[in-house]
Chain A
Amino acid sequence: MAGAGAAVLGLLLLLGSPGGSTGPPRDSLREELLLSPLPSGDLAATFQFRARWDSELHREGVSHYRLFPKALGQLISKYLVRELHLSLTQGFWRTRTWGQPYLQAPAGAELWVWFQDSVTDVDKAWKELSNILSGIFCASLNFIDSTNTVTPTASFKPLGLANVTDHHLLRYAVLPREVVCTENLTPWKKLLPCGSKAGLAVLLKAERLFHSSYHSQAVHIRPICRDASCLSVSWELRQTLTVVFDTFSVGQGKRDWSLFKMFSRTVTEACPLASESKIYVDISSKTQENELLEVTPLPLSVHEAPVQGDRRTYAVYDLLSPSLFNVSRSLNVQLKWKRPQDSLDLSTPVLHAQRYVSGYGLQTGEISTLIYNTHPYRAFPVILLETVPWYLRLYVHTLVITTKGKENKPSYIHYQPAQDRRRPHLLEMLIQLPANSVTKITIQFERALLKWTEYTPDPNHGFYVSPSVLSALVPSVIAMKAEDAEQNPLFTSLFPSSDGSSYFVRLYTEPLLVNLPTPDFSMPYNVICLTCTVVAVCYGSFYNLLTRTFHVEEPSRGGLAKRLANIIRKVRGVPPL
């Protein structure tokens, strides 16, 4: 260990000196931007910044941070985090019209963390971690508590290097109500080594990013193999940001775009700290014979990669290659559609889902989830995770799963009932989706009455139910070779793929808005006064009337003799007549 420590010190010194090329850098930064036109004609821009650090963060004494942000590094070493995934999203990825996302996130804030097995009190560490993250990202993550935290058993596996599958070390929470805006973007940008001063990050202008249909920013931290032999661990921090631009409303019906049009900036240089800086443009066309789109300036190289079960072609602009900025000082990638798109029937993705509340009235309801498998001949299983707050009382005996009119028995069910005010319902199921089918999952619930202090300030807005999570290995159209992950674009390499015949997809459904029975808060005082008065005035009398009978007692008019006799008796000490 001491030797290793000395080596680390030596390396650090080497890195410190400019142009030190004797050893491989201990940390590296790759940045890339993927621009992909969506089937609906909109445009998705995915930024990925990957900082990789060959260091044992969990060991004591790591104090020198270069590219890896210190705030996050300290967090990992203090709370013994194995993996951390945080996403903040505004909007909803519409899988049906936009196709399969590279990285989807649920609307609102999502946080899931795997802890090291040396953590003794996971709940405490989780609580503190979420509070600190809340401070770092200016998000309301401090609202994560036991009522919205669950421990899924099957849906969330570690993405990085880990062989632990003890799911008690996992915590998962979604805050569907979280509103994401610039105050969350600024701290996220500050984690980048170049900030938003240079490189691709200059494009991240808040006023343009939030003038979009979908905005999702995420931070993923995980341990990965340092090299092919995988004897030691490196830490990887991926910061991803996905925006979908509505080219329709911006371009008045035309769907052409350019970097300047979308971000009101162009790229002038790569981040000097980055070892790789590339822009990918998805130019793969559905049909072979005609090329629908045209990119300018002409790309220097074209990359072909199997992504999500399909072979895709990307035009690549390497910002580090000097020839790129030879012609003009800035790079403004433009794309033009040669023909207008006017096909109604979009190619639907293999797996997509929809969730809604059915029924009416304020007493009961039903949560329905429709899962579509549009693959023509392959069936595949999907893991469904439902987290429902305790104030919707689920009735598990009403759980019905039907596919093509027949009952579909899940091969695995994990259900954890809710406890009032303490923990939510957790329902995890492994469901087989037959080829070309729609599977409908319904479960009924009853709306609970909350205590009057538990209502939100706007109770008539409704209460959110977090999206359900679908995780599936979707069979791919073409066989994918396992390639060297380091060479591929970043967006292909977050989820590990087991073999070439299928690829991993995680989908989130819409969050739901459910109305609960709400008292009229405008007049509690009147109601209380009236009720108390009515009870006070009426109760006694009604009780009397119901339990007694009243008779008029005729006053006994005894004569003078009787009165006299009574006086005498009183004197004698005998009870009167």
Chain B
Amino acid sequence: MGLLSDPYRRRALSRLILRLNTPLCILSYLAGLGWFLGLASLPFTLRSYMSENAMGSTMVEEQFVFGERALSYAREFAGHKKKVGGIPVAWLEKTMWNLGLEVYKQPFSRTLPFPDEMRERYMVKGTNVYGILRAPRAASTESLVLSVPCSTGQHNNQAVGLMLALASYFRGQIYWAKDIIFLVNEHDLIGMEAWLEAYHDVNVTEVLSSGMLGRAGAIQAAVSLELSSDVITSFDVAVEGLNGQLPNLDLVNLFYAFCQKNGLLCTIQGKLQRTDWDTLPAYVHSLQTLLLMVLKQGSGRPQGDHGLFLRYHIEAITVRGINSFRQYKYDMGTVGKTLEGMFRKLNNLLERLHQSYFFYLLPSLARFVSIGVYMPAFGFLILILVLKALDLWMKLSKCDAGPEEQLCDGDQGAVHAAAEESRPGLLTLVPPLLICHATGLTLYFLPVLGQHMATQHFPVSESEAVVLTVIAIYVAGLALPHNTHRVLTGCGSERGWMTLKLLSLLYLAMLLGCIALINFSLGFLLAVTMVPVAAIVQPKGPKYLYAVLLVLVTPAVTLLLSIVLYQELIEYPVSALECWQLFLQAVSEGLLDHYLYGSIVFPFIALFVYPCWLLLWNVLFWK
């Protein structure tokens, strides 16, 4: 720090930054990217371990043997579901009651902001049914949740069956210290959100639900189960929740430990881990897994019903049974044993899960990258913006100092006037800022508010109208610079664009820094694309190359590229047209996620990142 208060060294330092700016930036970008790609390799990852003492050392001996009963429940449930054409509320209530649970139901309704064409729903009405197993000699202060979505068609029947069989087995045991809630939620995430909001008596979104009668204190952990076949070959675990929140790593470790104990194959992101760690194919494999996790987390979408629990500080994972063409199959008994073991260990918890990591990336289930290891990759990228901003600032202050040196040799008044002229006050930056943010506000509000008007005037459906309006406004923003210049008459100078660029670089750095703290993946994806172009963009030089580059790194194109990358990674490549379809779908899903569950990705992009990008666009077309 003494470095800065010593004028000589300061001067040397600033000279260094000015002269070596471009190489430093390039170096920093490569370091950031290299660091990130290195995260999947062995030296960066730690072997995962159980931190929580209460779950680590205690042994449980699983005795669940009622796989057959689970299947018969599943068949019965499927029959009733078919008969009722939805969730068989009465049958579930009666069955759970006969198992000795306290049974409650919760009707809810939700009108979507615009129709969801993918799942074909608009006005959603449903009922959640849940039974509470009261722990003996406990005062209902803590509970665990086992939730199963009641999906349409033939999905998840086995999950309901297994849940009921587990409930009946759990009811006979005496060791429970926490209440266990067995929840069947309808309309997957909407039902889950309705249940969670009613349980915590808050109204975050606009779900309408009638009162909730049974509660069981503070929920400590939740497991969401999805199972659609009588036998499974492997278990897949989903961890990414709303806004990229992750459950405590101990819960994932617990799942992994019990899969290993029972000899079950378990995957993450659908990828089985490889045993050879130090080979190149293994590295590529774990890098793919890591990239998939980054893409999923960056999307901010809950990757299963568990994702909504995380807002309430409830650790949760979704466990999916996969039935593929492998030879070894596991029956319901083994699956039930795994879940039993997990619940018994969670039951042993004395405190909330807090010992292990909340911020991590998983290149495989056995290894993880902690926040301290992956953050530098992002830090290097942000460093570029800071370096570039420093560079601009020093150039600007040199211009400031310039006239003053001239002061001594004569005519004060003229020089002052010149300085005034060449130095557009900060006030001139207000119009572009305001206009860009107004565009952002339009992008945020207009599509949903104006959908009815759009459907009246154009032959499109509501959801198409919303998505197309989003794209139209987004593209219309590109015409902005010409409009802002009309407001900013006569200040097109060298200093003007430099000040604007300085401002937008700092703004971008702040935005990315903030979002990376909440959702590292989103921050990193945006940074890795936007930062280099933001650093080089200027109204001089190959303007059209810059324009193309800048368009290529706009968040919308990043989304498109991410979709392509995702499809490549899951080994399901798509054609350009399909990709475009997926893109449109992703936009509408992004909006729905925001309105239905309170995801912050859409407002963050629309209200902050897009205006910031428009500022850079303004810099490019500065006259």
A515 touches B171 (CB 8 A): no
Assess whether A129 is interfacial by the CB under 8 Å rule: no
Partner-contacting stretch, out of B95-103, B114-122, B440-448, B603-611: B95-103
Per the bound structure, the CA–CA distance linking A358 and B217 in Å amounts to: 10
Per the bound structure, the CA–CA distance linking A516 and B8 in Å amounts to: 51
B137 touches A91 (CB 8 A): yes
> Which bucket holds chain A's interface residue count?
35 or more
- Please name all residues of chain B whose beta carbon is closer than 8 Å to the beta carbon of A462 when the two chains form the complex: 141, 218, 352
Least distance between A538 CB and chain B CB atoms (Å): 6
- Please name all residues of chain B whose beta carbon is closer than 8 Å to the beta carbon of A541 when the two chains form the complex: 1-2, 4-5
Task: Name the contact of A512 in the complex, choosing from B136, B173, B217 (C-beta under 8 A).
Answer: B217
What mask results when residues 190 to 217 of chain A are scored 1 for a CB within 8 Å of chain B, else 0?
0000000000000000000011111100
- Please name all residues of chain A whose beta carbon is closer than 8 Å to the beta carbon of B97 when the two chains form the complex: 342, 344
A90 touches B141 (CB 8 A): no
- Please name all residues of chain B whose beta carbon is closer than 8 Å to the beta carbon of A354 when the two chains form the complex: 213, 215
Assess whether B548 is interfacial by the CB under 8 Å rule: no
Least distance between B78 CB and chain A CB atoms (Å): 23
Q: A359-B202, A461-B352 are in contact. Are A94 and B171 (CB under 8 A)?
A: no
- Please name all residues of chain A whose beta carbon is closer than 8 Å to the beta carbon of B213 when the two chains form the complex: 96, 354
Per the bound structure, the CA–CA distance linking A213 and B8 in Å amounts to: 78
B139 touches A510 (CB 8 A): yes
B7 touches A510 (CB 8 A): no
- Please name all residues of chain B whose beta carbon is closer than 8 Å to the beta carbon of A518 when the two chains form the complex: 354
A97 touches B102 (CB 8 A): yes
Task: Name the contact of A550 in the complex, choosing from B5, B138, B311 (C-beta under 8 A).
Answer: B5
- Please name all residues of chain B whose beta carbon is closer than 8 Å to the beta carbon of A362 when the two chains form the complex: 313
Assess whether A246 is interfacial by the CB under 8 Å rule: yes
Least distance between A353 CB and chain B CB atoms (Å): 12
Assess whether B172 is interfacial by the CB under 8 Å rule: yes
- Please name all residues of chain B whose beta carbon is closer than 8 Å to the beta carbon of A359 when the two chains form the complex: 200-202
A458 touches B350 (CB 8 A): yes
- Please name all residues of chain B whose beta carbon is closer than 8 Å to the beta carbon of A515 when the two chains form the complex: 218, 313, 352
Least distance between A397 CB and chain B CB atoms (Å): 19
- The interface centre, meaning the residue of B2, B6, B139, B141 with most chain A CB atoms within 10 A of its CB, is B139
- Please name all residues of chain B whose beta carbon is closer than 8 Å to the beta carbon of A360 when the two chains form the complex: 200, 202, 311-313
- Please name all residues of chain B whose beta carbon is closer than 8 Å to the beta carbon of A97 when the two chains form the complex: 102
| Interface residue SS majority, chain B | loop
- Please name all residues of chain B whose beta carbon is closer than 8 Å to the beta carbon of A514 when the two chains form the complex: 218
A356 touches B215 (CB 8 A): yes
Least distance between B178 CB and chain A CB atoms (Å): 11
- The interface centre, meaning the residue of B6, B141, B200 with most chain A CB atoms within 10 A of its CB, is B141
Per the bound structure, the CA–CA distance linking A548 and B6 in Å amounts to: 12
B5 touches A107 (CB 8 A): no
Least distance between B12 CB and chain A CB atoms (Å): 12
Assess whether B10 is interfacial by the CB under 8 Å rule: yes
Per the bound structure, the CA–CA distance linking A357 and B141 in Å amounts to: 10
Least distance between A296 CB and chain B CB atoms (Å): 25
- Please name all residues of chain A whose beta carbon is closer than 8 Å to the beta carbon of B405 when the two chains form the complex: none
Per the bound structure, the CA–CA distance linking A548 and B4 in Å amounts to: 12
In chain B, what residue has the closest Cβ to A361? B313
Q: A544-B5, A550-B5 are in contact. Are A211 and B202 (CB under 8 A)?
A: no
Least distance between B233 CB and chain A CB atoms (Å): 35
Q: A92-B140, A462-B352, A510-B217 are in contact. Are A249 and B201 (CB under 8 A)?
A: no
Residues of A within 8 A of B (CB): 90-92, 94, 96-97, 107-108, 176, 210-215, 246, 248-249, 252-253, 342, 344, 354, 356-362, 366, 368, 438, 458-462, 464, 510-515, 518, 522, 537-538, 540-542, 544-545, 548, 550-552
Residues of B within 8 A of A (CB): 1-2, 4-8, 10-11, 93-94, 97-98, 100, 102-103, 134, 136-142, 171-174, 200-202, 211, 213, 215, 217-218, 311-313, 350-352, 354-355
- Some 8 contacts from A to B, beta carbons below 8 A apart, are A91-B137, A92-B139, A249-B171, A510-B140, A513-B141, A515-B218, A540-B1, A552-B7
